[in-house]
């Protein structure tokens, strides 16, 4: 038997219901925020991620799925969404769009070759938002508010935001020099990854999961002390806008995020989730004002975030959040082969008029069909026999209270529309 690849999963039954609910919620929320959906290829030139995500990030150095195509070009399955969206922004000259800022959202599969564990897969789904063209701190706060509001709509509790600032290029250079001086005497005590990051990107040392409890990590200089006036003012304004929106936050100087492109604001959003412990961070993001320029575009301010679907699904299960499902509206039962054609025409008419409708395809007898009704739990059952076809009066049963109605064929749409609308109020 051929099995699915390690680190992947199939979607069906209950998982399918939860996933579709989240997807619809995301789409509706993005519509309210007036963000435009964007889709990029599943694979891109490897150079995009090496330049965009950064050579020193774990994603590029350890986790990407790289391959050569038939033209001997180096390609990579996308490990995250931002680099591809930035490439699209540049290639399609969206920086010339008079409608600035350009506000995009995306959703789709990403690929990282890492050890599969709870909430982490080699193929995983990511929802993200990217905004280009404005350095206004109000946008930083808006970006943070999107996952906060999404989690609230889903029903998660204890939602908190942790924020930090990595400053602009000038501030980061000063901080980088301070970190190099600080870690220089301790370099032999650090893990191999940190040794490799020492000169290339010492900020990444602070993100190390192996050495994070060592004294030299706890005593490392804090970026907040190296922010210039412009970066500090930007950071203060972000906090003011979060307070305007009544979003609970704390300043955490240890947040640096795992990707090389971040500047200024960086943040993480977490929730109090039963059994998650220290793994309750559900999403993160921040500003990356230099990335568009790094990938060949004009100097452009940008900010965004991303969250993983799988961790969110685990949070929903851990918190025992019940996802509402409107279920099946109508189930049609043809009494015999003679009524199937008429029944199927009715089924299609109902579907095209917005009713979620199914029909018996298995030629069950009436007893077996009502067992199927128990499994599907439709709101209404329409039974079609010879009498119904001849009289043009349909037999409609209300599944919940077992009431039976006789409805003229030409009035069936209005009848069902009115009845189902009453139930949804």
User: What sign does the CA torsion over 121, 127, 132, 135 have?
Assistant: negative
Query: Residue 281 belongs to a domain with what CATH number?
Result: 3.30.930.10
For residue 356, being part of any structural domain is answered with yes
Residue 57 has pLDDT above 70, yes or no: no
Q: How many structural domains are present in the chain? A: 2
The answer to whether residue 164 sits within a structural domain is yes
User: pTM for the complete prediction?
Assistant: 0.88
Residue 338 has which token pair? Answer: 């003679």
Question: Which of 293, 318, 343 is the C-terminal boundary of a domain?
Answer: 318
Whether residue 355 sits in one domain with residue 294: no
Do 104 and 45 share a structural domain?
A: yes
Confidence of residue 228 (pLDDT cuts 50, 70, 90): very high
Does 339 share its domain with 277? no
Tokens of 92: 């399609």
Same-domain status, 271 and 404:
no
- Banded model confidence at residue 58, pLDDT cuts 50, 70, 90: low
Three-state SS at 203: helix
- Same domain for 380 and 238? no
What is the per-residue pLDDT for 260? 63
52-74 as b/e: b if 16+ CB within 10 A: bbbebbbbbeeebeeeeeeeeee
Please give the share of the chain, as a percent, with pLDDT higher than 90.
71
C-alpha distances in Å from residue 280, one per residue of 3, 56, 158, 247, 262: 31, 25, 11, 18, 22
User: Is there a domain that residue 112 lies in?
Assistant: yes
pLDDT at 42 over 70: yes
Q: Residue 405: give its domain's CATH number.
A: 3.40.50.800
Q: Are residues 269 and 374 in the same domain?
A: no
Q: What is the mean pLDDT of residues 37-51?
A: 94
Q: Above 80 in pLDDT, residue 209?
A: no
Query: Rounded CA gap, 287 and 180, in Å?
Result: 24
Residue 295 in this model has a pLDDT that exceeds 70: yes
Residue 274, pLDDT > 80, answer: yes
Q: Are residues 379 and 233 in the same domain?
A: no
353 has a pLDDT exceeding 60: yes
**Is there a contact between 409 and 391 (Cβ–Cβ < 8 Å)?**
no
| Residue 215 lies inside a defined structural domain of this protein | no
CA distance 5 to 9: 8
- Range(s) of the domain holding residue 26: 13-168+228-318
Task: Calculate mean pLDDT across residues 272-294.
Answer: 88
One domain, residues 297 and 413? no
Specify whether 334 is located in the same domain as 312.
Answer: no
Last residue of a domain, one of 318, 338, 353: 318
The rounded Cα 104 to chain-centroid distance in angstroms is 13
Residue 231 pLDDT: 94
Lowest mean pLDDT segment, chosen from 99-103, 126-130, 255-259:
255-259
- Does the residue 207 lie in any domain? no
Out of 45-59, 230-244, 316-330, pick the least confident: 45-59
Q: How many C-beta atoms surround the C-beta of residue 133 within 10 A?
A: 19
Does 219 score more than 90 pLDDT?
no
Same domain, residue pair 266 and 397: no
Confidence band for 56, pLDDT divided at 50, 70 and 90:
low
Phi and psi dihedrals of 407, rounded to 5?
A: -125, 130
The whole-number pLDDT of residue 412 equals 96
Task: Tell me the angle at which helices 340-352 and 412-424 cross, rounded to the nearest 10 degrees.
Answer: 50
Percent of the chain with pLDDT over 70: 96
Among 295, 318, 341, the domain boundary falls at: 318
Is residue 220 included in any domain, yes or no? Answer: no
For 297-308, how does the pLDDT look when each residue is reduced to its tens digit (9 = 90+)?
Answer: 999 999 999 999
Question: Is 340 a member of any domain?
Answer: yes
Question: Would you state the pLDDT for residue 204?
Answer: 74
* Judgement on whether residues 364 and 242 belong to the same structural domain of the protein: no
8 found inside a domain: no
Distance CA 360, CA 344 (A): 9
């Amino acid at each position: 038997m051929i099995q699915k690849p390690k680190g992947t999963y199939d979607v069906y039954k209950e998982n399918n219901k939860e996933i579709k609910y989240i997807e619809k919620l995301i789409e509706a929320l993005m519509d309210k925020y007036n963000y435009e959906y964007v889709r990029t290829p599943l694979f891109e030139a490897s150079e995009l991620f090496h330049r965009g995500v950064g050579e020193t990030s774990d994603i590029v150095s350890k986790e990407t799925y790289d391959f050569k195509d038939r033209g001997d070009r180096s390609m990579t399955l996308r490990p995250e969404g931002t680099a591809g969206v930035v490439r699209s922004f540049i290639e399609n000259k969206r920086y010339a769009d008079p409608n600035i800022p350009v506000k995009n959202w995306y959703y789709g599969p990403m690929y990282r070759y890492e050890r599969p564990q709870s909430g982490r897969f080699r193929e995983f789904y990511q929802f993200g938002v990217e905004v280009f063209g404005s350095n206004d701190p109000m946008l930083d706060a808006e970006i943070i508010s999107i996952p906060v509001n999404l989690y609230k709509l889903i029903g998660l509790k204890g939602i908190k935001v942790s924020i930090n600032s990595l400053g602009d290029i000038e501030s980061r250079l000063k901080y980088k020099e301070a970190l190099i001086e600080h870690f220089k005497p301790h370099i032999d005590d650090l893990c191999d990854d940190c040794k490799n990051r020492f000169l290339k990107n010492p900020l990444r040392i602070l993100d190390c999961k192996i050495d994070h409890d060592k004294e030299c990590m706890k005593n490392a200089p804090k970026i907040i002390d190296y922010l210039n006036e412009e970066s500090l003012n930007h950071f203060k304004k972000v906090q003011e806008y979060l307070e305007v929106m009544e979003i609970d936050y704390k300043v955490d100087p240890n947040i640096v995020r795992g990707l090389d492109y971040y500047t200024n604001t960086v943040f993480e959003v977490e929730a109090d989730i039963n059994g998650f412990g220290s793994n309750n961070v559900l999403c993160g993001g921040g500003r990356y004002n230099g990335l568009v320029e790094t990938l060949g575009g004009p100097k452009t301010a940008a900010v965004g975030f991303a969250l993983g679907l799988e961790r969110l699904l685990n949070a929903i299960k851990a918190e025992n959040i019940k996802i509402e499902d409107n279920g099946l509206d109508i189930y049609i039962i043809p009494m015999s082969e003679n009524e199937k054609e008429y029944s199927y025409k009715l089924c299609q008419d109902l579907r095209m008029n917005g009713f979620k409708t199914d029909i018996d395809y298995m030629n069950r007898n009436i007893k077996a069909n009502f067992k199927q009704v128990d499994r599907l739990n439709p709101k209404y059952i329409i039974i079609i026999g010879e009498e119904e076809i001849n009289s043009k009066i349909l037999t409609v049963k209300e599944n919940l209270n077992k009431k039976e109605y006789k409805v003229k064929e030409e009035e069936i749409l209005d009848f069902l529309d009115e009845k189902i609308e009453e139930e949804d109020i």
